Chain A
Amino acid sequence: EVQLVESGGGLVQPGGSLRLSCSASGFTFSSYAMHWVRQAPGKGLEYVSAIISNGGSTYYADSVKGRFTISRDNSKNTLYLQMSSLRAEDTAIYYCVKESESWGQGTLVTVSS
């Protein structure tokens, strides 16, 4: 069974940094592209970032480009999202996603002073 478990969320001040992790199990992690999707409170889904299976290519939404960095450690079956220069509008639940069919439970990031 595919399991994706996000961690690392919390309260951070504007301008601060945070690193999210997603621990994957139940599938061959190194064979799949992985994604981050976020959802602000009461709002719709927003695509954030993707990384291909070997980490060789990455993609970002314009709203996070230059501030967020996606990476992965295939030896640890773990996906990361390094977030810096955080803004209030980055407040959201962040989901780790495999393909389209498997989503984690999400981790809440709150950016506030």
Chain B
Amino acid sequence: DIVVTQSPNSLAVSLGERATINCWSSQSVLYSGDKKNYFAWFQQKPGQPPKLLISWASTRESGVPDRFSGSGSGTDFTLTINSLQAEDVAVYYCQQYYSAPYIFGQGTKVEI
């Protein structure tokens, strides 16, 4: 199994400041066949289902503000939220979808 470790568990950031969340996978999720990293980031607000923010480690989904960015390759990945807004308060999860079981990170609670 490819295990995903996420840090920190929680993060308090001032409005307008930057939030950074890190994830590591126990094996590379970079597939040599298509040169893609099978790694995603989700946002979950209270009482709501998860929402896909970023796929393939760095591709923002349609409608996701450009203050959200994903980076990294292989086993090390980062989600950066620039200029944090009040509506960004949520739990953020990373996930590898390279191979089953498609394990999620433990989650990072982002607060103001």
Q: Determine if chain A interacts with chain B.
A: no
| Residues in A lying within 8 Å of B, measured CB to CB | none
